[in-house]
Amino acid sequence: MSPLPVPLPHSFAETAVRGVRDQCPRCGEARLFGKWLKPVDRCPACAQDWTLQHADDFPAYISIFLTGHLTVPLLVTLVLEYELSALAAAAVIVPLSAALMLALIQPAKGAVIGAQWWLGLGGFRKERPDEPDEPDEAR
């Protein structure tokens, strides 16, 4: 089943933002995720096969990286400026970090899937609106 003609995204950023928003990175017309971290097998709007994605652990790395960069300055501020004990600081930081990681992992996975599609990685076919599928070797 070949994908239906839809307006494709014009940039890597547009594709990634669609993934972050739980929209199909290819068409933006349907949801990307059927369950929390499981993408739909096939987009109901453009028929893109999302079983080809292999995000693996990269969304978790992104989520941990962002969570660390958001919470460590807060931890330093709590300990140095407000002189909280280690236990009190942990009581704030640990639940906040867990919530942030859970909140960030699906958008991160959506962006990674969008990036894979845009770059034509794995089984995805590289299809961009302004570029031919094959490089021009006749120059």
Residues in touch with Zn ion (CB under 5 A)? 24, 26-27, 43, 45-46, 48
Vertex 118 angle, CA 65 and 64, to 5°: 10
Minimum gap (Å) between residue 25 Cβ and Zn ion: 8
Supply the minimum distance, in Å, between the C-beta of residue 109 and Zn ion.
16
Smaller CB distance to Zn ion: residue 59 or 114?
Answer: 114
Angle 8-123-118 from CA coordinates, rounded to 5°: 30
Residues 6+ apart with CB under 8 A from 96: 71, 74
Instruction: Tell the smallest beta-carbon distance from residue 7 to Zn ion (Å).
Output: 11
Comparison of 52 and 93: residue with beta carbon closer to Zn ion: 52
Q: Return the number of the residue (108 or 117) whose C-beta is nearest Zn ion.
A: 117
Rounded CA gap, 58 and 92, in Å?
27
- Our CB check for Zn ion shows the closer of 4 and 103 to be 4
Q: How far apart are CA 94 and CA 100, in angstroms?
A: 10
Q: In angstroms, what is the minimal distance from the CB of 110 to Zn ion?
A: 13
Q: Collect all residues with Cβ–Cβ distance below 8 Å to 80 and sequence separation of at least 6.
A: none
